[in-house]
Structure 1
Amino acid sequence: MDWVAWHDDYANPGSVLSGRLAVVRRIIREVLDDLPAGPVRAVSMCAGQGHDLLGALATHPRRGDVRARLVELDPRNAAVAEEHARQAGLPGIEVVRGDAGLMRHYRDVAPADLVLACGVFGNLTDTDVLRTVEACAQLCREGGTVVWTRHRRPPDLVPVIADWFSARGFEQTHLSDPAAGFGVGAHRLRHPPKPLPGPDRIFTFIPEKQPPPP
């Protein structure tokens, strides 16, 4: 898998990836609009080139409040994300080149106001998806929001993931219609975060041979 070329469809206005990106950016901007004044913390798992968060922040009035950590294993994508952040004038963005499935990359920035798990759940076993949902209850502050994506190929796990979040104290604020061709969810934590100590490994990324639908 060439994870740099995988991003090419973001530039195609008619692609599923482009449509998903627009929804994710809109949700991020809405989350920022609703947060109280002051610093904002964000983390992004498997951040790729950072199109979602960096694109949402580029013209947002609270761009200067955001301190974010983007974790990406592919060094080429990480370099692109760093350059995008520089060009957009976003000094609060930190790109970490490492395995996003390790909790060690998030402990010192959690709990966060915004957690992004976009392009992640389609490349995990169901067991690791559930484990990541549980980790999000550690990574979010009370009132913090997780934005996540998943393809809608059968068997469609999107409704199950939404139920997993709800069962762990999250309130659903968005779930895309199946007719959209992609799954985007947003869930807000309704209670204080769980303690962070625990296993370091959250998930193991298992890429498919072909780029999965989002």
Structure 2
Amino acid sequence: MKLFKFFLFGIFLAAFWSCSDLGDPEISGCMTSAACNYDPDATLNDESCVSVDGVCETCVDGTIVDNDADNDTVCDADEVAGCMTSTACNYNPSATEDDGSCTVPTACDTCEGEAVVVDGALDGICDTCEDGVIVDNDANDDEICDISYLTQIQPIFDASCTSCHGGSGSLSLTSYENLMLGNSNNGPVVNAGNGANSLIIQKLRGTAGSQMPMGDCCLNDESIDLIETWIDEGAQDN
């Protein structure tokens, strides 16, 4: 009986000592006090620590909040919407977020406050705007606009000359390029800068052989003068 009691007592002591040796269980978590998800109860660092970036991020209940949706290092609360194009009339130097509101003038325009004044940079005399670029139209700055081949000279040829000089003969007057090529018999018919010595003017005035146009005589002096002035101005392809 005594042996049995000693046996039970031994089992009790062994159980007591084994339990006391176990201690409290480990708690895994972040043990870095400066981290957003710091766990003061953690006894085992599980390398889960996360920290704010020091720019826009904040820590809320152990979770990092970004606060910089477009990642431009300007916090969402500090963003200023506006036009960020420096050449625009409504450029906002304080803007941090382009809102697509820019009104950018072309070379032909000017700004009046935040509004674009269309063609505001033109001189109001001869300047025109083509594809956002100022075209002078007054080569010698005499405030008399240059004559346009496309809108003033070619229509004269189309109406009175191309029935004979439409490409089948040696001289074609269907385009600027063909006119400047001249013909195979006499070469160039336009002497740019010198209308009086240009064969086409001499032909139109009848001072160099038969007068053009043949058949329906003749171009009026106003039309011939216009062509001659265009040549005097340099025979531009304009």
TM-score band (shorter)?
under 0.3
Q: Which has the larger radius of gyration?
A: 2
Higher RCO (CA < 8 A, seq sep 6+)? 1
* TM-score w.r.t. length of structure 2: 0.23
Which has the larger helix fraction? 1
Could you state the TM-score of these two structures normalised by the residue count of structure 1?
A: 0.25
